[in-house]
Amino acid sequence: MTHAHITAWVVALILFFVAVSLQRGNSPKARMMQMILRLFYLIIIGTGALLLYSIATIPPLYIVKALVGIWVIGAMEMILVRAAKGKSTNVFWIQFVIAFIIVLYLGFTLPLGFDLF
């Protein structure tokens, strides 16, 4: 499940940047990319939830990890939706970077799967 989770967010990250660049080029494909990206949001949340179910008693840090994961997804969604409306996205880019760093750190610190830090 760890691999499915990592694959899901790596693919989502790539799709996100593709969607951002399509949007900047005013391509009509940007919306389609955004819909596919939303499907991956669900896969990330689904695989993350299954990882949570795999442990009997969930330590608080796992809840923090899950919430920050949802924060990353929220920031990506806000960037794309606001950019489509021509609104400023700076605040959400900052949130995206901060939340992404926290979630990577927490993910790889927590004991399941790979233990990088």
Residue 97, token pair as written in the block:
């970077």
Q: Which of 39, 42, 49, 91 binds ligand HEM (CB under 6 A)?
A: 49
Residue 11: CB minimum distance to ligand HEM, A: 11
Q: Name every residue whose Cβ is closer than 8 Å to that of residue 22 and which is 6 or more positions away in sequence.
A: 29, 30, 33
CA distance 6 to 17: 17
Q: Is 9 in the site for ligand HEM (CB under 6 A)?
A: yes
Residue 44, token pair as written in the block:
């990330």
Count how many Cα atoms sit within 13 Å of the Cα of residue 114 in the half-sphere of its side chain.
11
Residue 105: CB minimum distance to ligand HEM, A: 9
Interface stretch with ligand HEM, choices 21-29, 30-38, 47-55, 81-89 (CB under 6 A) = 47-55
Residues in contact with ligand HEM by CB under 6 A are 2, 5-6, 9, 44-45, 48-49, 51-52, 62, 65-66, 69-70, 72-73, 103-104, 107-108, 110-114
